[in-house]
């Protein structure tokens, strides 16, 4: 059937690390040649044996040597996974041994999730930041601007909400939104609600054609979605950003991760966050 090469991301926890690194590696090749499977919570020897059976089956069916990208911590379970004919990318032990030598410390081998238990305060701040993003979505609660680390400014559907949520998840940033509307464009001055917070503002812009597509997917054939309207709004938004020296970014060809990271870097939010932690 498929002659795709099987790739397995295997982890004793969520598999997010294995998948993130794996995608980063595989993105250097033609991804269509791979069939990817994530095996999460492989945390017993029996589950490891079952996993390896799946890998062997995929090898037989594809006629190709599979790739395993794994982040298993327990040495016994890892040994079972390594006892296959797959090409194995073993992230933990490749780098952990040299780090142990450098630090002169044995690593604390334990299965599971260091993140929440070891750093509950950090985790709680992340959830609080996400909650903040949700509650301050599209300027519903302007009076929380004082608590925001950053206020994203842009026209409807320019990506403010996903960006604010990702800023929370990625870096605990408290992000609020301000949606630009015709009222803002008619007056030739800074929106009043934003006036006290000039230093927190960051603009999101977007290619009008792309905006037209997005809006059309929501309210087809409306004035709101028309290319003409999108062109007008984006032009006026960028004019406003320039007039008041608000830094802004064209989000059209960027992933949510890139938009979020660029804002963090531009506004120096990273250092502040690290200090808080």
Instruction: Give residues 104-123 in contact with a copy of itself (rule: CB under 8 A).
Output: 105, 107-109, 113-119, 123
Cα→Cα distances 95→71, 89, 174, 248, 266, Å: 11, 11, 34, 39, 31
C-alpha–C-alpha distance, residues 222 and 210, integer Å: 15
Question: How far apart are CB 43 and a copy of itself at their closest, in Å?
Answer: 12
Q: Which is nearer to a copy of itself, 86 or 234 (CB)?
A: 86
Question: How far apart are CB 128 and a copy of itself at their closest, in Å?
Answer: 8
Per CB under 8 A, contacts with a copy of itself among 42-101 are 65, 67, 71, 73, 87, 89, 91-92, 94-96, 98-99
Q: Which is nearer to a copy of itself, 91 or 193 (CB)?
A: 91
64 Cβ contact partners less than 8 Å away, ≥ 6 residues apart: 3, 4, 5, 6
Cβ proximity of 245 and 201 under 8 Å: no
Of 140-148, 175-183, 195-203, 258-266, the window that binds a copy of itself (rule: CB under 8 A) is 258-266
Contact between 197 and a copy of itself by CB under 8 A: the answer reads: no
Per CB under 8 A, contacts with a copy of itself among 120-179 are 123, 126-127, 130-131, 134, 137, 161-162, 165-166, 169-170
DSSP 206-244: --HHHHHHHHHTTSTT-TTT-HHHHHHHHHHHHHHHHHT
Q: Which is nearer to a copy of itself, 13 or 205 (CB)?
A: 13
Contact between 224 and a copy of itself by CB under 8 A: the answer reads: no
Cβ proximity of 158 and 251 under 8 Å: yes
178: which 2 tokens?
């301000």
């Amino acid at each position: 059937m498929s002659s795709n090469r099987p790739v397995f991301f295997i982890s004793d926890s969520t598999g997010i690390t294995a998948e993130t690194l794996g995608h980063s590696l595989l993105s250097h090749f033609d991804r269509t040649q791979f069939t990817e499977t994530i095996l999460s919570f492989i945390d017993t020897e029996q589950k490891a044996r079952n996993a390896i059976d799946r890998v062997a089956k995929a090898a037989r069916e594809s006629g190709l040597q599979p790739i395993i990208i794994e982040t298993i911590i327990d040495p016994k379970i890892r040994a079972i996974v390594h006892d296959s004919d797959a090409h194995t990318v073993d992230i933990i032990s490749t780098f952990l041994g040299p780090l142990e030598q450098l630090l002169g410390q044995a690593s604390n081998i334990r299965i599971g999730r260091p993140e929440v238990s070891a750093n509950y305060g950090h985790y709680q701040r992340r959830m609080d930041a996400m909650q903040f993003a949700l509650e301050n979505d599209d300027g519903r609660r302007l009076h929380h601007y004082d608590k925001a680390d950053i206020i994203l400014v842009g026209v409807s559907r320019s990506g403010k909400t996903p960006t604010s949520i990702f800023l929370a998840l990625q870096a605990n940033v408290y992000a609020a939104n301000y949606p630009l509307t015709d009222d803002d464009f008619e007056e030739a001055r800074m929106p009043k609600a934003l006036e006290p917070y000039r230093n927190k503002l960051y603009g999101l812009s977007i290619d009008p054609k792309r905006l037209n597509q997005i809006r059309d997917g929501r309210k087809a054939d409306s004035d709101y979605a028309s290319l003409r309207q999108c062109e007008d709004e984006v032009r006026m938004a960028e004019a406003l950003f320039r007039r008041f020296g608000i830094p802004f970014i064209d989000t059209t060809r960027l992933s949510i991760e890139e938009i979020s990271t660029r804002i963090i870097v531009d506004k120096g939010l990273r250092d502040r966050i690290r200090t808080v932690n």
